[in-house]
């Protein structure tokens, strides 16, 4: 199995070795994502699964049953990446799902429900600034108006999907009503599991972000001829906000139970020329916590700070809220099953929260859903050096297989009863 995991990981990533100095770039709804999906289809067929592509381009590999049960148990993740990202974010979950099917098939397991391995389209927000497009479609929560949102080349989501042969108008048809439960496995993208000395994590809540766009308007002028006391330097003004954002998160963490993180992650400066004082600067701020009130507190403090900066640095500041999503609490019964699975197999685990968004947060709005984290080296993610060991992937395979045994096995009813007692 471990050899199979290693070979299949490379196959899904379309490489001979996972050592890729510039990482992996498979943006959503591109030929690159398609190629990885084709690899997935090849592997799934070898495992005897039946392939369905839905109206949003999500690929589903189904383990059929002959017992007339319509309700499917679903597992899966995504294969798209950020620009120059890693080969594990998303792909690990797809790999482990296939591995769990292989394990169960090899032991002659017969599921009581059809099992769907879903590869969701365009999970990352790198291309269009919008994340989890495929799982939003499946969950029936995709806003059709985002079709006009464009990538850096001016190509809209609608144009991008149509170039691949899909119809944007049909995306709503991808909504599912036949899924009993969903479980995703993902690399942690942090070091909480490692720091706690455990083998895997089961996620309680997904910290969805508040995202702000802060536009600082100063006045452009010649860098050589404008005296220091006559300037309205937008970058100088913005530079006072950047440390404040992280300091505010650190300050709140000292007194709150749940953590909050806040980052100025993007900056655009205009005209960005050596001999011109910056006239306009736009900052993108990402604030996350499972505790929604903490996120709002950080956003409020940023707003107040901007008022001070406007006065002190002679500029005007506009704040737009790009995203304000309440955090998602995952299903408790699924959490229990995922913990039980590890307990049964002898793997140590912990309940934890996710700072990052995942397809599972949309699926939770459709059906009881759960998220398993496996460790990744140094917590590094969205980076060419992102890495999870085959050993940890194998633990994931065993946990997911055990979950499927619980969820779709004949012992299903029995184990539910015993866990309630």
Kindly state whether residue 383 participates in binding its own copies, applying the rule CB under 8 A: yes
Q: Judged by CB under 8 A, which of 67, 148, 167, 265 binds its own copies?
A: 265
129 binds its own copies (CB under 8 A): yes
CA distances from 378 to 144, 191, 195 (A): 38, 6, 10
- Which 178-217 positions form the footprint of its own copies (CB under 8 A)? 188-191, 207, 209, 211
Choice from 9, 59, 264, 363 touching its own copies (CB under 8 A): 264
Q: Residue 193 or 338: which CB sits closer to its own copies?
A: 193
CA distances (Å), origin 97, targets 27, 93, 179, 216, 367: 22, 6, 16, 46, 18
CB of 108 to its own copies, least distance (A): 38
Closest of 190, 144, 156 to residue 28, by C-alpha: 156
83 lies in the site for its own copies, by CB under 8 A: yes
d(CA 373, CA 378) in angstroms, rounded, equals 14
Beta-strand pair 369-374/179-187: parallel
Site string for its own copies, 210-239 (x = CB under 8 A): -x-------xxxxxxxxxxxxx-x-xx--x
Member of 246, 304, 316, 418 binding its own copies (CB under 8 A): 246
Residue at token pair 């996972």: 18
Choosing from 28, 76, 99, 357, the residue that interacts with its own copies (CB under 8 A) is: 357
Binding of residue 308 to its own copies (CB under 8 A) = no
Least separation in angstroms between CB 264 and its own copies? 6
Identify the CA nearest to 206 among candidates 41, 386, 371.
371
**Residues 208-237, buried b or exposed e (16+ Cβ, 10 A)?**
bbbbbbbbbbbbbbeeeebeeeebbbbbbb
CA distances from 110 to 103, 106, 114, 280, 399 (A): 12, 11, 10, 62, 17
Q: Should residue 379 be labelled a site residue for its own copies when binding is judged by CB under 8 A? A: yes
Count the Cβ atoms, other than its own, within 10 Å of residue 88: 27
What character string, x for contact with its own copies (CB under 8 A) and - otherwise, covers 330-349?
--------------------
Residue 349 backbone dihedrals phi, psi, to 5 degrees: -145, 170
Residue indicated by tokens 């079709």? 147
Min CB(420)–its own copies separation in Å: 33
* C-alpha pair distances (Å), 185 with each of 34, 122, 300: 21, 17, 34
Of 330, 294, 309, 386, residue with least CA distance to 21: 386
Among 274, 311, 346, 417, the residue binding its own copies under the rule CB under 8 A is: 274
| Residue 250 interacting with its own copies (CB under 8 A) | yes
Is 222 labeled as ligand-binding? no
113 is in an annotated binding site: no
Q: Which residues are annotated as a binding site for Zn(2+)?
A: 78, 89, 124, 186, 382
- By CB under 8 A, name the binding residues for its own copies: 82-84, 124-126, 129, 131, 188-191, 207, 209, 211, 219-231, 233, 235-236, 239-240, 242-243, 246, 249-250, 253, 259, 261-269, 271-279, 284, 286, 288, 354-357, 379-383
Q: Which residues are annotated as a binding site for allantoate?
A: 211, 275, 288
């Amino acid at each position: 199995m471990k050899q199979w995991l290693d070979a299949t990981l490379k196959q899904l990533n379309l490489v001979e070795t996972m050592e890729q100095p510039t990482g992996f770039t498979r943006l959503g709804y591109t030929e690159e994502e398609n190629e990885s999906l084709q690899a997935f289809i090849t592997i799934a067929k070898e495992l005897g699964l039946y392939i369905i592509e839905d109206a949003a381009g999500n690929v589903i590999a189904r383990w059929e049953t002959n017992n007339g049960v319509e309700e499917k148990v679903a597992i899966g993740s995504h294969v798209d990446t950020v620009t120059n990202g890693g080969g594990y974010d998303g792909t690990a979950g797809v790999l482990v799902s296939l591995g769990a099917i292989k394990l169960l098939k090899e032991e002659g397991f017969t599921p009581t429900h059809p099992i769907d391995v879903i590869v969701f389209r365009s999970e990352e927000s790198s291309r269009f600034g919008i994340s989890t497009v495929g799982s939003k479609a499946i969950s029936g929560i995709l806003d059709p108006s985002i079709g006009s949102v464009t990538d850096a080349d001016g190509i809209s989501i609608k144009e991008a999907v149509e170039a691949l042969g899909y119809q944007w108008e049909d995306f709503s048809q991808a909504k599912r009503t036949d899924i009993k439960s969903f479980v995703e496995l993902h690399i942690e993208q942090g070091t909480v599991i490692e720091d706690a000395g455990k083998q895997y994590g089961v996620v309680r809540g997904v910290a969805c972000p508040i995202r702000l766009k802060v536009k600082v308007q100063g006045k452009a002028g010649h860098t050589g001829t404008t005296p220091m006391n006559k300037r309205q330097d937008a970058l100088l003004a913005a530079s006072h906000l950047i440390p404040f954002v992280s300091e505010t998160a650190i300050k709140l963490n000292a007194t709150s139970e749940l953590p909050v993180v806040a980052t100025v992650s993007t900056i655009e400066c205009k005209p960005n020329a050596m001999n011109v004082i910056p006239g306009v600067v736009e900052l993108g701020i990402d604030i996350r916590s499972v505790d929604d009130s903490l996120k709002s507190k950080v956003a409020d403090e940023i707003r107040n700070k901007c008022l001070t900066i406007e006065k002190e640095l002679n500029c005007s500041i506009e704040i737009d809220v790009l995203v304000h999503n309440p955090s998602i609490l995952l299903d408790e019964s699924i959490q229990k099953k995922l913990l039980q699975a590890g307990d049964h197999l002898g793997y140590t685990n912990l309940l934890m929260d996710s700072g990052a968004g995942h397809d599972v947060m949309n699926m939770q709005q459709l059906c009881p859903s759960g998220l398993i984290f496996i460790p990744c080296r140094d917590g590094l993610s969205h980076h060419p050096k992102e890495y999870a060991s085959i050993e940890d992937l194998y633990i994931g395979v065993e946990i997911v297989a055990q979950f499927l045994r619980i969820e779709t096995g004949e012992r299903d009813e029995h184990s539910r009863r015993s866990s309630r007692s």
